[in-house]
Chains A and B, each alone.
Chain A
């Protein structure tokens, strides 16, 4: 089945620790995104990547890092510099990011819930 797989479903971080959230897609999509969701709020963009080996900061990139070495993978690292990491993290992908963008829908994974110990 085609889709976006995020792992783990639940993750706990100790103070001062870096943790990495996995996002894999087999949809052959070019663009991938990471969002953060806090209770009672909409999603906020952390990082996005339109193509392999390229990525850009979103609205709340501080304390996070990403890589895009393969088309199907876009891991997110929550670093110790992120002082309030507790949130629900969602990964999304999109076929391509040019042309008639409105016809190209973002598809979401099931999310990873990160908590601080």
Chain B
């Protein structure tokens, strides 16, 4: 069965410093992986997706993630944090075992950005 573990429930950075949000996955086959962002009381917005093409995936708002099969990781990074990046981030794996597209969500990482 597929599963996702987000290693940090909260991350705090200063504006202008790098962001690293960690995600490990478990999958019995080549996974499809996603990062979604959720601002307070809002729906989820797709940041980026990995679909077995390039292992370094670029997303919106300067975010990127690298798929590392040997480490079963899909960490999200950004070189320089902005105040508007403060939100909750979800690492997601697509589960196809039930015959339909099911998304398995991590518990989320809340990113705080300080001036």
Q: Give A49 Cβ to nearest chain B Cβ, in Å.
A: 10
Chain A residues with CB below 8 A from B36, complex form? 108
B49 CB-CB contact with A under 8 Å: yes
Give the contact-size bracket for chain A.
Answer: 20 to 34
**B11-49 interface (Cβ within 8 A of A):** 32, 34, 36, 41-46, 49
A50-B100, A101-B32, A106-B103 are known contacts. Are A43 and B45 too (CB-CB below 8 A)?
no
Q: Give B84 Cβ to nearest chain A Cβ, in Å.
A: 18
B interface residues, Cβ below 8 angstroms from A: 4, 9, 32, 34, 36, 41-46, 49, 51-52, 90, 94, 96, 100-103, 105-108
A interface residues, Cβ below 8 angstroms from B: 4, 6, 31, 40-45, 48, 50, 56, 58, 88, 90, 92, 94, 97, 100-111, 113
The answer to whether B107 touches A42 (Cβ under 8 A) is yes
Chain B residues with CB below 8 A from A104, complex form? 101
The answer to whether B43 touches A108 (Cβ under 8 A) is yes
